[in-house]
Structure 1
């Protein structure tokens, strides 16, 4: 498959990149689940969750890019095959995004429950402060990860819009180029026809003059013969 995407790679390369990212993202989610109930996982979980979110966004960007280019595949059988492949990658990315969202919700719920327990018990000893500090750090890390993820999504949306606009402008330029070539071809044909008409007119003019001269000669010869 030689079809090239906006990122400079072929459609096959874009697909292989998306598959590698899917494997990496699934592994990251599994690590998050193992760290989920660790008491000292605040920053590690936040950094990992942000990395997973970033990979999911990149997969979705690759899907958007592949979705534009599989439509240009000439053979219908290959076009249908690429359509199924891209849709499968997009579905897996959506599933991973949903799993990550559930992880964020569980983390928020866990932090909220810890705060409520501490408020009810009214603990003020060092152990209570330590637990609260751990959950505060996790809450801050999760909030930072969510903010970064939101910024990443906005950047992704902007990039997709720019690519779509570039694709539309390129189609318009191609259409204008085809129209210009059609006009040039039409002008070239018109010039050829005009030249043929001018040549035919010259030939007809010489035939007319020759006929007139021949008629005059015949009339003169006939007049002399009758004298």
Structure 2
């Protein structure tokens, strides 16, 4: 029986069966790729497109066959063709469901891979942030260490200056005592002695003023390093 330019019912049926076999083989290949360790579960867009196209063509042929078997005159043959067309349609529907599940699993894998990539990107960003914090902390600790070293050097310098002042003071005292002894020996007047005493007090004030200036300098150095 002719099928409106598309071949007889038997020819359309044979074409549909061939397409079903090819679609079934394609789905099995997709599933093997999905579970293959070497491929890492990669998708084959070309193969999945062909399988989807074959299934759509089978469903289209089922619509043609459904129209043709109804025109069969003999009831036994009509019932037989009806059952054949129904089986082809059921098998095509089953393959379509398998392909849809494959697409759903593949989409879920792609989404999970994208989420992992985003998490890895954020993790790398956090690691860089942590390293930057550690670097800043190290720089701050180095700055504190340098400030402490400068402060220690300033204190040492101040102590050395004060020690020098103390030594000079002792030398002045000894010189003054010797001078007084000499003056007493030669019988100098009391006026000369008072002049010496005033000069001694003036020297002490110079010494105290120098010590005060040193302490002020040390204070500002300690404050600036803190």
TM range (shorter): 0.5 to 0.7
Which of 103, 107, 125 is the matching residue for 2:54?
103
Greater gyration radius: 2
Q: Deviations over 1:114-146 (max 9, x none)?
A: 111122x25343233222222211110110111
Number of residues paired by the alignment?
A: 162
Match of 2:99 in 1: 149
C-alpha contact 1:108 1:139 (8 A) present in aligned 2:
yes
Query: How far, CA to CA, are the matches of 2:123 and 2:134 in structure 1?
Result: 16
Q: Deviations over 1:34-79 (max 9, x none)?
A: xx8368669745632432554687889626xxxxxxxxxxxxxxxx
C-alpha contact 2:62 2:85 (8 A) present in aligned 1:
yes
Partner secondary structure for residue 62 of structure 1 = coil
1:32-181 equivalence runs, <5 A: 37=14, 44=21, 47-52=24-29, 54=31, 62=42, 93-119=44-70, 121-181=71-131
Q: Which blocks of at least 5 consecutive residues in structure 2 are unaligned? A: 1-12, 180-226
Query: How far, CA to CA, are the matches of 2:161 and 2:128 in structure 1?
Result: 49
Residues 1:60 and 1:138: Cα distance change in structure 2 (over 3 Å): farther
Query: How far, CA to CA, are the matches of 1:110 and 1:148 in structure 2?
Result: 20
Task: State TM-score, norm by structure 2.
Answer: 0.59
Residues 1:57 and 1:124: Cα distance change in structure 2 (over 3 Å): farther
Task: State TM-score, norm by structure 1.
Answer: 0.59
Q: Which blocks of at least 5 consecutive residues in structure 1 are unaligned? A: 1-35, 64-92
Q: CA deviation at 1:163?
A: 1.4
Partner secondary structure for residue 14 of structure 2 = coil
Provide the aligned C-alpha RMSD in A. Answer: 3.1
